[in-house]
């Protein structure tokens, strides 16, 4: 069986106030074509389809269109909710969905897998939506039992126990689990929302073993946790970068081929191929003096740019010069290097000359004593302000 694993679309997300809608639409166009080209049987999407609980109409329309076109390819689509989604809103109308589209967004749905047949038999697709511990610890507790411990580990362990119990009723069936969670050992970036509950935000890898393929969502970098989990386990990562901490990511979707279960050892042959997604433009962080950064215009003039300027004294018209050189400048930070640290902040004395106070403030702000031209500007401003005050 051929499975395409993609997650963390975050429809409606912006990148430092840049609207990503057109780029997300281009990715979905590419994805539909890929599903057709690669003859994909099942598309799995483990959460964070939207970027917010109440998505914009444009994002809802984009998802609606994408699911319809994926269904038209003949592939089965299995989708779960993430911590950014509203499980209730995303799952609304799932009973009315067209054939082949399955939204597994609630706890009861964990025990009702999607069954898909291939030449080797049955494959069960279980969906674990994002399990908020404060809520799921009650829903996943056995009838009449006390709520589970308040942790991601406790609720995920209970959910996987239900999966294994249900899978045992289908001897020989292969199992795929979609789980939106932070597995211990995964590498995070700046753009994922913190999942901490009681100071613990991850699930130990050992909790997730015994599954034929674990399709993970939440972390935005594509990564293989098979060695950590002890079973085939991957994060597909997000298809687009959502922060400069992701600038070195190879954004991907995963093409997973699930073979037959071995007659002797019972193991399932699994192969995973990374396919890089189309990137609108690179994210580049440039660090150095303003002159050094501007010298890289030919290389990075069309990139999304974060500029970290290190001149000892803040250059004049800094933002204007950067924007002229880099049309997609998103972030500017000023981190002076070589500035002599002052032991104490300037102290203003009542009897002090106001011009001396202004000179000291400029020196503290820029790290350099005012030039004669700067002092002259301050003197003119002070003289004008004093003249207006005396005139009134």
Beta strands, E only, 28-120: 42-46, 76-80, 101-104, 114-118
**Alpha-carbon separation of residue 385 from 152, 350, 356, 360, 389 (angstroms):** 62, 19, 16, 19, 6
Could you tell me whether strands 76-80 and 42-46 are parallel, antiparallel, or unpaired per DSSP bridges?
parallel
Per-residue confidence at 352, pLDDT binned at 50, 70, 90?
confident
pTM for this prediction: 0.85
What are 123-148's pLDDT values in tens digits? Answer: 999 999 999 888 889 889 887 788 88
pLDDT at 390 over 90: no
- CA 48/CA 62 separation, integer angstroms: 14
Residue-range domain boundaries for the chain: 2-276, 282-335, 340-392
Which residues, in sequence order, are bridge partners of residue 24?
A: none
Range in 13-27, 66-80, 179-193 the model is least confident about: 179-193
| Cα(188)–Cα(352) distance, integer angstroms | 53
CB atoms within 10 A of CB 222: 22
Q: Which residues pair with 176 in a beta bridge?
A: 125, 213
Start-to-end CA distance of the chain, whole Å, equals 85
Give the tens place of pLDDT for each residue, 15-64: 999 999 999 999 999 999 999 999 999 999 999 999 999 999 999 999 99
The pLDDT confidence band at residue 199, using thresholds 50, 70 and 90, is very low
Average pLDDT over residues 101-109: 92
| 8 A C-beta contact, residue 245 and residue 188 | no
The CA–CA distances, whole Å, from 275 to 31, 221, 375 equal: 11, 13, 60
- Closest to 164 measured CA to CA, from 226, 228, 231: 231
CB-CB neighbours of 141 under 10 Å: 15
pLDDT over 80 at 346, yes or no: no
Question: Residue 330: which H helix or E strand, with range?
Answer: strand 329-334
Q: Give me the residue label for tokens 């400069």.
A: 244
Q: In the prediction, which pLDDT does 30 show?
A: 98
The yes-or-no verdict on residue 115 having pLDDT over 60 is yes
- Classify residue 130 as exposed, middle or buried by CB count within 10 Å of its CB (0-12, 13-18, 19+): buried
**pLDDT tier at 198, thresholds 50, 70, 90:** very low
Query: CB count, 10 Å around CB of 11?
Result: 25
Looking at residue 56, its pLDDT comes to 93
| CATH number given to 2-276 | 3.60.21.10
Q: Residues 170-194: what's their mean pLDDT?
A: 88
Q: Domain 282-335 falls in which CATH fold?
A: Double Stranded RNA Binding Domain (3.30.160)
pLDDT given at position 305: 98
CB 163 within 8 A of CB 129: no
- In the numeric block, the tokens 């400048």 are attached to 329
- The strand pairing partners of 101, in sequence order, are 77
State the pLDDT at residue 74. Answer: 96
Residue 196 has pLDDT above 60, yes or no: no
Topology agreement, domain 2-276 and domain 282-335 = no
**Rounded to an integer, what distance in angstroms lies between the CA atom of residue 262 and that of residue 296?**
56
Highest mean pLDDT of the ranges 85-99, 190-204, 268-282, 347-361:
268-282
Give the Cα separation of 128 and 179 in Å (integer). 5
Q: Is residue 47 a contact partner of residue 80, using CB atoms and an 8 Å limit?
A: yes
What is the structure's pLDDT at 156? 94
pLDDT tens, 263-313? 878 899 999 999 999 999 999 999 999 999 999 999 999 999 999 999 988
The CA distance from 249 to 213, in Å, is 23
């Amino acid at each position: 069986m051929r499975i395409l694993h993609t997650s963390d679309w975050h429809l409606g997300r912006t990148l430092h106030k840049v609207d990503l809608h057109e780029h997300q639409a281009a990715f979905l166009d590419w994805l539909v074509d890929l599903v057709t080209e690669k003859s994909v049987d099942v598309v799995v999407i483990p959460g964070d389809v939207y970027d917010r609980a109440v998505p914009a109409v444009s994002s809802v329309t984009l998802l609606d269109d994408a699911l319809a076109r994926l269904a038209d390819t003949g592939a089965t689509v299995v989708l779960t909710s993430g911590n950014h989604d509203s499980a209730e809103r995303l799952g609304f109308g799932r009973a009315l969905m067209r054939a082949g589209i399955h939204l597994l967004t609630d706890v009861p749905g964990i025990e009702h897998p999607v069954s898909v047949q291939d030449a080797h038999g049955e494959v069960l697709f279980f969906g674990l939506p994002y399990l908020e511990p404060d809520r799921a610890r009650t829903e996943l507790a056995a009838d009449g039992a006390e709520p589970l411990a308040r942790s991601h580990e406790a609720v995920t362990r209970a959910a996987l126990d239900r999966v294994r119990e249900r899978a045992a009723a289908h001897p020989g069936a292969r199992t795929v689990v979609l789980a939106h969670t932070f597995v211990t050992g995964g590498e995070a970036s700046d753009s994922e929302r913190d999942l901490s509950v009681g100071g613990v935000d991850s699930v130990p890898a050992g909790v997730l073993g015994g599954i034929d393929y674990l399709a993970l969502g939440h972390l935005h970098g594509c990564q293989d946790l098979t060695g950590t989990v002890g079973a085939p386990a991957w994060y597909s990562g997000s298809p687009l970068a959502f922060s400069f901490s992701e600038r070195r990511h190879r954004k991907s979707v995963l093409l997973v081929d699930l073979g037959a279960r071995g007659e002797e050892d019972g193991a399932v042959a699994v192969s995973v191929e990374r396919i890089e997604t189309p990137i609108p433009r690179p994210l580049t962080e440039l660090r150095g003096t303003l002159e050094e950064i501007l010298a890289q215009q030919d290389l990075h003039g069309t990139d999304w740019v974060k500029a970290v300027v290190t001149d000892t004294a803040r250059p004049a018209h800094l933002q204007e010069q950067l924007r002229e050189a880099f049309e997609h400048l998103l972030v500017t930070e000023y981190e002076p290097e070589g500035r002599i640290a002052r032991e104490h902040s300037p102290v203003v004395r009542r009897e002090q000359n106001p011009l001396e106070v202004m000179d000291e403030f400029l020196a503290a702000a820029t790290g350099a004593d005012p030039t004669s031209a700067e002092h002259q500007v301050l003197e003119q401003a002070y003289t004008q302000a004093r003249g207006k005050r005396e005139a009134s």
